[in-house]
Chain A
């Protein structure tokens, strides 16, 4: 555990990418199997130890530490594993040497956390917590709960492993979803001691191609003739692999969500791998993202859900057809293959995302501005000659979101932030006016419509924090209620009806656009004007 704890520490304090790669490479070189494989899995998010959960860790701490002291500490530190590792009270009478198993190996920890019965897991973790140093406690909890926050993406961790064997990271990524931790076969191959691992599953996830946001000034440097445009749908980007009689559905990070969408897999009667948008569609109309939200994250899905919220795939691209790898072909050719496949098979629950014809950038800009269609987030621009590449290469694909909506809202509550922002009131709940409920005729009250914690500078944060402190009316733990008086111009991507929110609407991705120090709060927007924006 010591070596792994040192690894995490070194990664946190090294900001340069090359520095991180060097640290990881050295760790992989110096650490034997299977420990290094478990470490790699923990960094790529492929280690799933179900017995160690945040709520269990919270429970353990609260059995030892006063709950208020824990809450205040957690608010300040902002990370559960770190709070737990620091706050854990050392047992004064513990026989330190006998108990300190800093030689607890990573694989022993993983094995025991996997094998332990759920009921006995807390006792196991508690024993280790007592015996380990704070830094190793942190490592243990990170290992158990995941969510490392050491500034290493899954791709960077895989890149370091690939460098160990001087192989291209693309080659490793290709294999990745067919491999399982602790990756002993993989390391044997990378060190030249074994053959390249065979990826057995032909339903494996393939790394997806992502777009960069378009900065409008870039447009002038691009030739409209080089690009195809298509709508960017407001759903979940997915990859579908279908073979006769079987299939798999992945999110763009490779998470398998097939079990929640049996309707999609039933209709996917063709032999291909597609890139598309997962949507909910009723009578040919794309439903709001909220409707899709209902079906995400379910292990099983009931009959009523399947009928009320039918899933749909709108295809953008094709990666494989009948075992043939199409990814090196230019976009235009892949598009033609996709259209042919679709015409031939006409699968239900599928359609093609249409290309958007345009004359020049001015024309496309206009189309984007007039765009108020259901379920459309904006436009995608794809170079017609672009191959389908893993990751987010700069240049071939751009996303061009439509301009957000804005509304003038009144600040109602402010909550303290976490970590760096723990001494500031940095999370803001705001509302719009509506006629007062009850029979107080002609009176108006505020109803909360959303919460935002981004979109302002550090300087503005200081001013907001000061304003909150000077105008608070009540305190509830980390939250302060403030008197109506400050108008926030809030930007948001879309707005939906919501039963869970008192105001009846919920914003998607709200952020502070401007702080209207100048605007009288009585002139902020009314709920009814937000209702008019519901699609």
Chain B
């Protein structure tokens, strides 16, 4: 690790990414004394930390998921507000990933680091749009870091779902979507496309949908699938949102011959979509696609790019082709290649 310059600001420790001048971790995977949390997804926000700095929305999401934010409490920072921690000044700016998601902008006397967390560049009616912050060192995700991933327009994908409802008016449409972010975005996109019927929710989706509504994201009429004991209704022609794992579980049997849809960036690749047992793949992603990733590493004008979370190798290669100093964080100590 460099002794000075922007690279000296961040260190890889067993707990996760550590900001030395500020004495805090960003999205640590083990409980730490002080953490900055970029967003509420489980691989970024974990319970049990001492102090937590995050956006108001992310704190609310953590509260609703864990029942508590941190032992010594959470500190809310609005987008753009500067908070001093140790010798670092921290500012959270929108990442466009899910409601409340932020990039951590860290200013020190060694320069400026931006840790992106997860992000996307395209419009999302459920959260604030990604903001480009020029910096010296940019830490980017690379979930879809291969040039085969070019996410199509979301309106077209939602159109596929609506057309399928017209083609199969008697079949329930089960849409697998992650409970935080994707589910609400699917609902909001449906509303924008003029779909105003009630949308049905698996029990696991309810809490976060309610929270989104409380935080000002209007999702229209929502109904629970499980109303009353053993309630059985005909869901033919209705949209039912559920966690992806429920698509093929015992729970889904009540819908009979349902159309199984899955809203995910992975649906781009046919054999993957097929292996997840999906009949209607919807390419809807809350992560940047290849074009967004490669545009971002240029837009931030950073000299150094660190790549983490996903397919680092290709993006590191591309960044080097752009003449940037790029490294995979896995080389620096991480070893994660999951999805």
A89 CA / B291 CA spacing, docked (Å): 11
A13 contacts which of B278, B311, B314 (Cβ < 8 Å)? B278
Which residues of chain A from 73 to 90 have a CB within 8 Å of any chain B CB?
73, 76-79, 82-83, 86-87, 89
B337 CB-CB contact with A under 8 Å: yes
What sequence of 0s and 1s flags, for each residue 283-324 of chain B, a beta carbon within 8 Å of any chain A beta carbon?
Answer: 000000000000000000000000000010110011001000
Which A residues are in CB contact (< 8 Å) with B278?
A: 13
Which A residues are in CB contact (< 8 Å) with B273?
A: 12-13
Which A residues are in CB contact (< 8 Å) with B272?
A: 419-420
B339 CB-CB contact with A under 8 Å: yes
Q: A13-B281, A14-B279 are in contact. Are A72 and B146 (CB under 8 A)?
A: yes
State how many angstroms separate the Cβ of A66 from the closest Cβ of chain B: 7
A516 CB-CB contact with B under 8 Å: no
**Interchain CB contact under 8 A, A79 and B339:** no
**Interchain CB contact under 8 A, B321 and A66:** yes
Which A residues are in CB contact (< 8 Å) with B227?
A: none
A78 CA / B146 CA spacing, docked (Å): 13
State how many angstroms separate the Cβ of B167 from the closest Cβ of chain A: 11
**Interchain CB contact under 8 A, B274 and A76:** no
Which residues of chain A from 347 to 395 have a CB within 8 Å of any chain B CB?
none
Range of interface residues on A (Cβ < 8 Å)? 20 to 34
A532 CB-CB contact with B under 8 Å: no
B249 CB-CB contact with A under 8 Å: no
A68 CA / B339 CA spacing, docked (Å): 21
Which B residues are in CB contact (< 8 Å) with A12?
A: 270, 273-274
State how many angstroms separate the Cβ of B169 from the closest Cβ of chain A: 18
B269 CB-CB contact with A under 8 Å: yes
Which A residues are in CB contact (< 8 Å) with B150?
A: 86
A66 CA / B338 CA spacing, docked (Å): 24
**Interchain CB contact under 8 A, B270 and A69:** no
Chain B interfacial residues counted at CB < 8 A: 28
A68 contacts which of B268, B269, B280, B314 (Cβ < 8 Å)? B314
A82 CA / B271 CA spacing, docked (Å): 9
Which A residues are in CB contact (< 8 Å) with B317?
A: 66, 68-69, 72
B198 CB-CB contact with A under 8 Å: no
A149 contacts which of B268, B271, B338 (Cβ < 8 Å)? B271
| Chain A interface, DSSP helix/strand/loop, else mixed | helix
B275 CB-CB contact with A under 8 Å: yes
A76 CA / B145 CA spacing, docked (Å): 11
A76 CA / B148 CA spacing, docked (Å): 9
**Interchain CB contact under 8 A, A82 and B339:** no
B14 CB-CB contact with A under 8 Å: no
**Interchain CB contact under 8 A, B271 and A419:** yes
**Interchain CB contact under 8 A, B146 and A423:** no
A65 CB-CB contact with B under 8 Å: yes
A327 CB-CB contact with B under 8 Å: no
What sequence of 0s and 1s flags, for each residue 130-156 of chain A, a beta carbon within 8 Å of any chain B beta carbon?
Answer: 000000000000000000010100000
**Interchain CB contact under 8 A, B318 and A69:** yes
A89 CA / B279 CA spacing, docked (Å): 28
Q: A79-B271, A86-B268 are in contact. Are A72 and B311 (CB under 8 A)?
A: yes
A–B complex contacts, Cβ < 8 Å, 27 sampled = A13-B273, A13-B281, A14-B279, A15-B277, A66-B318, A66-B321, A69-B146, A70-B147, A72-B146, A72-B317, A73-B147, A73-B148, A73-B314, A76-B311, A77-B269, A77-B271, A78-B271, A79-B271, A82-B270, A86-B147, A86-B148, A87-B148, A149-B271, A419-B269, A423-B338, A423-B339, A469-B335
Chain A residues engaging chain B, CB cutoff 8 angstroms? 9, 12-15, 65-66, 68-70, 72-73, 76-79, 82-83, 86-87, 89, 149, 151, 419-420, 423, 469
Given contacts A69-B314, A86-B269, 5 further A-B contacts (CB under 8 A): A13-B274, A13-B280, A69-B147, A82-B271, A87-B147
